[in-house]
Amino acid sequence: MQQFGRQLGLVALGTALILLAPLLAMQFTDEVAWDGFDFAAAAVLLAGTGLVYLILARLFRTARSRLLLGMAMAAVLLLAWAELAVGVFGTPFAGS
């Protein structure tokens, strides 16, 4: 259980580091204009994906199956992010 807590901390740290990119970009350019909702949505997507991966990865024994799980989850994360950003599929929650 101690290892899971450490992994969860790494997910939180990774989420925070990724969210630093738009935060820093907003300081130097007007091209990035995120508000609190954008940061919250990104945090939920990133941390949620990381948490679900940690839970599901415990079900798989081999490194190959965990890698495939990670790749599939990364693809779903990127598709969801793109849909929220620009509306690739035209769903009701699509961006711009």
Q: pLDDT digit of tens for each residue in the chain (96 aa)?
A: 688 889 999 999 999 999 999 999 999 999 999 999 999 999 999 999 999 999 999 999 999 999 999 999 999 999 999 988 888 777 777 776
Look at residue 92 and tell me if it is in a domain: no
CB 83 within 8 A of CB 94: yes
CB 67 within 8 A of CB 24: no
Look at residue 76 and tell me if it is in a domain: yes
Q: Which domain holds residue 12?
A: 2-86
Look at residue 93 and tell me if it is in a domain: no
Looking at residue 11, its pLDDT comes to 96
Looking at residue 96, its pLDDT comes to 64
Domain count, the chain: 1
pTM: 0.86
